[in-house]
Amino acid sequence: MYTQFFGLREKPFSITPDPRYLYLSQRHSDGLAHLIYGISQSGGFIQLTGEVGTGKTTL
């Protein structure tokens, strides 16, 4: 199993995202800032899109 090969204590990949494994890149930070701004302005609908596994659910 890859956990033994890489010396991991737990599986980092699962169906539900774990925020402990989120790497906030500049793009993630920008996306989060846009979401927070949109929510704070009460402007209505906000849509976040991206490829599978890019951190949308965790944000």
What is the pTM for the complete model shown? 0.64
pLDDT digits (tens, 9 = 90+) for 4-59: 999 988 887 778 888 887 888 999 999 999 999 989 998 788 888 989 888 888 88
CA angle 31, 37, 39 (to 5 degrees): 105
CA distances from 13 to 5, 6, 18, 22 (A): 15, 13, 8, 11
Q: How far is CA 52 from CA 30, 39, 40, 42, in A?
A: 18, 24, 27, 28
Domain boundaries, the chain: 18-42
Q: Are 22 and 57 in contact (CB under 8 A)?
A: no
